[in-house]
Chain A
């Protein structure tokens, strides 16, 4: 490790806004912005002294200039900022311009020399089949509605060129692309990209400047402060509503056959609803102390089994537990993530045989933490949606319902779950044994996209992984080889780079941020002020505060208090070395893997390989 050294390095405790987003912002630009709407309308009283409006603009914003055709944000990228158009105009493409990029890092790389050979000789052999999302994309491409358009439109080419030292990525022949794809223009004063920033998710659309444009980037810490201003908040919420509604509905494969008019109607009728609060981890912490059934009972109900089917429920963000009453408790069948649909089976049953009495919900849906859902009224679905869908795409008919109009059917056997997605997750869920499923859900491991799983049937505790991690990170490892355990599977205390990274919520400086492409969440040691927010907000306590040491290993302390300066530290997937996490590479017994547990496919595949 480091050389011991007794004399300490005293520094000023780092503060937020030590590192402004745009260090060389001009005073007059700032002034000019302050006079621009919407900032001119805001009243600066609502802002506390330590974070004034001016301070926000100074430190959390930056002015960007784009030529026509420049790409501002790209669909699929993880967003950390909202963008305000100051001058010029941009175009938002609501459809996918490109096939989604493959996963940045293969969670299950070569494990044995055999796989290694396989991979070297036939590279596609063990690539994971496309995720439901991407399938849906494909669906939307070869749908009948766009079939005609397919010929004339050409997938736009991105081009990169250097302008004034910094590269700009732009689309060729923006106009052609515009009439090729469904697009929506955004003018001065409009905000985009904030949705992804606030929900810590990926952008849903690509935005391209179609004239020379000036855009103000506000990182989401700034946005959160600006939300204090009522009008601004309302504006944001409204915008958030409709845009999220639109984009999501448009991307829902069920609705892809609707013409614009009906789609508009559907959009109008559909209501968006947020269950649970965004900072769900605090609640989760104390609920964890209760036993499982109590936990489940505490989870807010989205839909209750046995109730009449009022709407078709689409999950837009977050996770929901699909369960039914078994004995005195609830048995989890699956967890639904973004894009899954609930209640379609019942509706389609009603659609298939209108004569019978309509079946109520067969299972109940519970919000795990924070969930965004869309409710489409069932009548609308019956009249407009279902007629247009191929029978094959509909879920299997319900043969023996658990609930009918009369209530609970006693003779009901175990349900085959009926999930409303075209490529339903049902089979894969069926393969994961329920206990594991429940474990994953209860431990909220379903949130992890890079979960570190240690196979205890192989792990000898040689600590090679820890060594590797330590030597990649200045001698201090970034995870602990221990944690919740399910049978032979140990879910180690290493950052899972969650689908919903609640750790990012509280961070005042944005030191903890998500990489645009890989989705890896890492902490920038330059900007981290050691406020412990992330460490406390991480539900899995995978973020630890460590004492800062300088290159010589001297402990760094606060100049005033002489107390050690702490910093948050967590796994960063070794993103600086391009070949994936070194822990996985360093395991000599093929016991350690990073696996995306937000979907079940990878886990299930890995379990299969493990069995084989």
Chain B
């Protein structure tokens, strides 16, 4: 009897897990997106209704937009106040994402895409910058981790300089070791001419913005090309050097991507203060200058 129940329960859990594992991925995206759409539509109908009853529809959309923005800002507050009773931050974060989408829609309802006037334009610009950086950040957060995983073991951002210095030191020592003997000296020369700067200096800004493997490939092939001048242990050292080059490039890649994530995350907050100031002013102006309604 009891075992029967248990087996049933087990069956159900199995079924549920299977279903969840299949559908969860898109359900997780679908449902909130639908909610956003519905919310937007209802906002629009509210707007039309107020417009049709000769009220100022700008107030309806404006205040709902303001509410959305406040909710969006609440995420920052939530991150600072640390009480797990508020539930998982992940949930707040997701809500933040979808609310952000909604806010863009609400904005489009409230002010058209083109805005005139100094105040309004700057307000619009600040809004757009925040919205766009947010969206980009979202995208980056989704994609960057997998990028990071392609470049070796993850390393803390704080530790990167130390690590790269360590690599440079290793490479240098390796080069010194090779310099000693004729049958290996070729690598030392090559290192001095071509490779050393790669270890010691910072990568150029282009790489730091969108890292590519071009330079790594070039260095590696060049290194391989000097094999002909090398004896056996010379080659062994060369291979070691190549691996060091690989490691350094991975490190640079890591730092580039991690910086990218940090950049978008912080860029999202840059004009926040200005945005708040302008918004408040905007609201006050709206109330003072649209008299009698």
Contact = CB atoms under 8 A, between A and B. Distances in A.
Do A and B touch (CB < 8 Å)?
yes
A448 to B, nearest CB: 20
Contacts of A612: 17, 20-22, 24-25
Interface stretch (A107-115, A405-413, A562-570): A107-115
Interface SS, B side:
helix
Contacts of B22: 612
Interface in A273-296: none
Contact of B149 (A112, A456, A577, A579): A456
Interface in A555-582: 574, 577, 579-580, 582
Contacts of A580: 84
Contact of A461 (B21, B153, B258): B258
Given A456-B148, A612-B21, A485 B28 contact: no
Given A612-B21, A612-B25, A116 B154 contact: no
B93 A589 contact: yes
Given A116-B91, A585-B88, A125 B16 contact: yes
Contacts of B155: 482
B218 interface: no
A174 interface: no
B282 interface: no
Nearest to B154: A456
A467 B10 CA distance: 40
Given A586-B89, A588-B93, A612-B21, A460 B261 contact: yes
B78 to A, nearest CB: 10
A12 interface: no
Given A456-B145, A485-B153, A485-B154, A116 B25 contact: no
A106 to B, nearest CB: 12
Contacts of B90: 111-113, 587-590
A589 B21 contact: no
Nearest to B83: A577
Interface residues of B, number: 43
A462 B84 contact: no
Contacts of A467: 79
B16 A460 contact: no
Contact of B89 (A459, A577, A579, A588): A588
B170 interface: no
B93 A458 contact: no
A520 B13 CA distance: 30
A112 B157 CA distance: 27
Contact of B157 (A461, A480, A577, A591): A461
Contacts of B89: 464, 468, 585-588
Interface in B33-87: 79, 82-85, 87
Contact of B156 (A472, A481, A586): A481
Nearest to B24: A612
A50 interface: no
B179 interface: no
A139 to B, nearest CB: 12
B27 A460 contact: no
A591 B84 CA distance: 17
Nearest to A487: B149
A325 interface: no
B157 to A, nearest CB: 6
Contacts of A379: none
A99 to B, nearest CB: 14
B221 interface: no
Nearest to B143: A460
Given A472-B82, A586-B89, A588-B92, A114 B27 contact: yes
Nearest to B94: A113
B45 to A, nearest CB: 26
B79 A464 contact: yes
A461 to B, nearest CB: 6
Interface string B255-281: 000100100010000000000000000
Nearest to A484: B153
Given A461-B258, A464-B79, A114 B16 contact: no
B141 interface: yes
B82 A471 contact: yes
Contacts of B83: 577
Contact of B146 (A112, A457, A574, A587): A457
A609 B13 CA distance: 13
A603 to B, nearest CB: 15
A460 B87 contact: no
B88 A110 contact: yes
A336 to B, nearest CB: 24
A490 B91 contact: no
Contacts of A6: none
B28 A457 contact: no
Interface in B150-167: 153-157, 159
B144 interface: yes
Contacts of B146: 457
A35 B283 CA distance: 84
Contacts of A383: none
Interface string B83-113: 1110111111111000000000000000000
A608 interface: yes
A462 B140 CA distance: 12
Interface of A: 109-114, 116, 125, 129, 456-462, 464, 467-468, 471-472, 480-482, 485, 488, 490, 574, 577, 579-580, 582, 584-591, 608-609, 611-612
28 contacts: A111-B88, A113-B28, A113-B90, A113-B91, A113-B95, A116-B91, A125-B16, A456-B145, A457-B146, A458-B145, A461-B148, A462-B265, A467-B79, A574-B84, A579-B84, A580-B84, A584-B88, A585-B89, A586-B89, A587-B88, A587-B90, A588-B79, A588-B92, A588-B93, A589-B93, A609-B20, A609-B24, A612-B20
Chain A to chain B: the 10 pairs with minimum beta-carbon distance, closest first:
A612-B21, A588-B93, A579-B84, A585-B84, A590-B90, A113-B91, A471-B82, A460-B141, A588-B89, A586-B89
Interface of B: 10, 13, 16-17, 20-22, 24-25, 27-28, 31-32, 79, 82-85, 87-95, 140-141, 144-146, 148-149, 153-157, 159, 258, 261, 265
Given A460-B145, A577-B84, A589-B90, 19 more contacts: A110-B87, A113-B95, A114-B28, A456-B145, A458-B145, A461-B148, A461-B156, A462-B141, A468-B82, A480-B156, A579-B85, A580-B84, A585-B84, A585-B87, A588-B79, A588-B90, A608-B21, A609-B21, A612-B17
